[in-house]
């Protein structure tokens, strides 16, 4: 579904900002068309259903012949249509991210049900380690791309192909350096990462996982920087678990090693599709926006620190559980994290959508727009996260029993993670505004402090209370980081995120 050509406003001296977009490559059409059709169908169905109910209510009322009541009913429908249209991108992104979370849980469910808790722990530790090393290799260039490439959207022009190719080349070299370091580290590096959970002959598989994860993450970020939010989410979050899930469902993967290979190939596929999609947003012509490399690299390092620390937080709980409690306990913790990750669809999807919009607002020097976008993110988080959390608390034990009776041991950790994820979802936009407003280094320091707290507390909690203690430490670190970021944004940018107000500096 191609977008129409963007035209200038009447006051603009130039007749158009964009040339008409070239047709999408067939591979992208095949991927995007079903997703767009589903989103459009859901939206039209909801609007038609609400409009029909409102019309029926008016017909049944005694005052149907009154033009005033009839006009109020149709005004309500028009307001609803406008609201859904205004938040259509965010809702579509939530749908994609929710599908990705569901696909990821389906993979965990199938591995746990078919191969047991130990296999679940092995798969979790392998894939999460690959994600951590991919973030480490990208050096923050993916997040920096969202920060700086969004300027081309503010200027309503395409991105320079040279800028994209330069940043992509640097990112690829850094990721390959990480893979080379793993080969050079040999058994010492392997035991530090996996202990005795996985054999060292998985090294090549780990490197392919790293390359696929890094590529999907980078090109998904490039697409989001160009406000192609749904496609960016599709590349970075959905394709990889779908490939793994299909391999498990069809019997192509009948052990945990083959499930890992399916995940690795899904990452390579997502990278290829994302790279082709990114090429649609660049041009070699003169009417393009060239992004200087120096500011991209300067802001990438603080943003890289934040990404690494957050990935360490996701990985560290699994690593401690693996080293201190064994593969089976690691599998329990992974299942609890995967189920509680349903709430993360709010923070993940809204961050991917609103990070570029907030960055564009700051590029336009519009602090009021940034404040309103952040407040919108909080409201959507509350509407979605709270009902999901209540549902998980009510039916989590039943869901765990469906995987296997032994997985009921993960329920205490699931309760703690669910409550923590609700709190993180309601405070998450504060860190987003802080990072996109040019305060990357402050955001790095805050995240670093929370990481130190996490690194010190998790081993102690694991020794004293096991999995519930690990879950509590992970949640407390995330909540504390967001609360501190809120007060920093309030003081430096004079933005009240929860109220959506930007005060004069």
CA atoms within 13 Å, Cβ hemisphere of 294 = 0
CB-based contact 327:122 (threshold 8 Å): yes
Rounded distance between C-alpha atoms, residue 276 and residue 470, angstroms: 41
289 bridge partner residues: 159
Q: Which residue has the higher pLDDT, 337 or 1?
A: 337
3-state SS record for 456-472 = HHHHHHHHHHCHHHHHH
Token pair, residue 301, equals 């390092």
Q: pLDDT tier at 353 (50, 70, 90 boundaries)? A: low
Q: What pLDDT sits at residue 40? A: 53
Structure confidence by residue, pLDDT tens digits, 446-467: 888 888 888 899 999 988 888 8
Alpha-carbon torsion angle 473, 476, 478, 483, nearest 10: -160
- Which residue's entry shows tokens 């996109």? 436
Q: Alpha helix locations (H) across 289-326?
A: 293-324
Please count the residues of the chain: 505
The mean pLDDT of 342-347, rounded to a whole number, is: 72
The mean pLDDT of 130-140, rounded to a whole number, is: 89
Rounded distance between C-alpha atoms, residue 359 and residue 289, angstroms: 16
Q: How many domains does the chain have?
A: 1
- Under DSSP, the state recorded for 15 is S
Sequence-ordered list of residues with C-beta below 8 angstroms from that of 225, at least 6 positions apart, any chain: 145, 146, 147, 148, 149, 150, 153, 356
The mean pLDDT of 176-200, rounded to a whole number, is: 89
Residue 314 belongs to some domain of the structure: yes
Q: How far is CA 408 from its chain centroid?
A: 28
Q: What pLDDT sits at residue 291? A: 76
CB-based contact 120:108 (threshold 8 Å): yes
Q: What pLDDT sits at residue 451? A: 85
Residue 59 belongs to some domain of the structure: no
Q: How far is CA 387 from its chain centroid?
A: 20
Residue 320 belongs to some domain of the structure: yes
Q: What pLDDT sits at residue 352? A: 62
- Which residue's entry shows tokens 């490559």? 25
Structure confidence by residue, pLDDT tens digits, 65-82: 445 555 555 555 555 555
Rounded distance between C-alpha atoms, residue 138 and residue 171, angstroms: 5
Rounded distance between C-alpha atoms, residue 93 and residue 413, angstroms: 28
Q: Which of 196, 241, 258, 243 is nearest to 338 (CA)?
A: 241
- Which range of residues forms the domain containing residue 314? 84-502
Structure confidence by residue, pLDDT tens digits, 368-377: 888 888 888 8
The mean pLDDT of 470-491, rounded to a whole number, is: 89
What is the reported pTM? 0.69
The mean pLDDT of 269-287, rounded to a whole number, is: 85
Residue 22 belongs to some domain of the structure: no
């Amino acid at each position: 579904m191609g977008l129409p050509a963007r035209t200038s406003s009447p006051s603009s001296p130039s007749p158009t900002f964009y040339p008409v977009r070239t047709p999408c490559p067939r591979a992208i059409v095949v991927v995007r068309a079903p997703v767009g059709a589903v989103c459009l169908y859901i939206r039209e169905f909801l609007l038609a259903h609400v409009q029909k109910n409102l019309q029926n209510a008016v017909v049944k009322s005694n005052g149907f012949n009154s033009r005033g009541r009839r006009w109020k009913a149709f005004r309500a429908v028009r307001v609803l249509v406008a609201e859904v249209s205004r938040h259509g991108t965010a809702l579509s992104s939530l749908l994609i991210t929710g599908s990705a979370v569901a696909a990821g849980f389906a993979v965990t469910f199938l591995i746990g049900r078919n191969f047991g808790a130990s296999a679940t722990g092995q798969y979790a530790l392998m894939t999460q380690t690959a994600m951590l090393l991919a973030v480490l290799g990208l050096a923050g260039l993916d997040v920096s791309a969202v920060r700086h490439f969004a300027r081309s959207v503010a200027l309503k022009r395409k991105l320079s192909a040279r800028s994209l190719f330069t940043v992509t080349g640097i990112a690829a070299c850094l990721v390959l350096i990480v893979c080379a370091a793993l080969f050079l580290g040999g058994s010492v590096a392997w035991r530090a990462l996996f202990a005795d959970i996985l054999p060292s002959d998985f090294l090549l598989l780990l490197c392919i996982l790293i390359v696929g994860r890094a590529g999907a993450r980078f090109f998904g970020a490039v697409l989001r920087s160009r406000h192609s939010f749904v496609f960016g989410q599709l590349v970075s979050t959905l394709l990889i678990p779908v490939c793994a899930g299909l391999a498990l469902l069809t019997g192509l993967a009948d052990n945990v090693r083959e499930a890992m290979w399916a995940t690795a190939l899904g990452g390579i596929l997502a990278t290829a599709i994302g790279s082709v999609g990114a090429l649609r947003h660049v041009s070699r012509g003169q009417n393009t926006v060239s992004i200087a490399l120096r500011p991209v690299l300067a802001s990438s390092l603080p943003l890289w620190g934040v990404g690494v620390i957050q990935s360490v937080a996701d990985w560290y709980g699994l690593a401690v559980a693996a080293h201190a409690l064994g593969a089976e306990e690691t599998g329990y913790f992974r299942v609890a994290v995967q189920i509680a990750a349903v709430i993360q669809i709010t923070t993940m999807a809204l961050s991917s959508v609103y990070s570029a919009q907030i960055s564009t607002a700051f590029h336009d020097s519009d602090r009021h727009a940034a404040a309103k976008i952040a407040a919108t993110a909080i409201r959507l988080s509350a509407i979605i996260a709270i009902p999901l959390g209540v549902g998980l608390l009510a039916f989590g034990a039943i869901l765990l029993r469906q995987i296997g009776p032994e997985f009921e041991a993960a329920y205490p950790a699931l309760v703690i993670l669910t409550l923590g994820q609700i709190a993180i979802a309601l405070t998450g936009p504060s860190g987003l505004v802080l990072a996109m407003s040019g305060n990357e280094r402050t955001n790095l320091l805050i995240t670093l402090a929370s990481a130190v707290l996490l690194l010190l507390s998790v081993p102690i909690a694991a020794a004293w209370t096991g999995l519930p203690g690990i879950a509590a430490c992970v949640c407390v670190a995330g909540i504390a980081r967001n609360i501190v970021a809120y007060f920093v944004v309030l003081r430096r940018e004079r933005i009240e995120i929860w109220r959506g107000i930007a005060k004069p500096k």
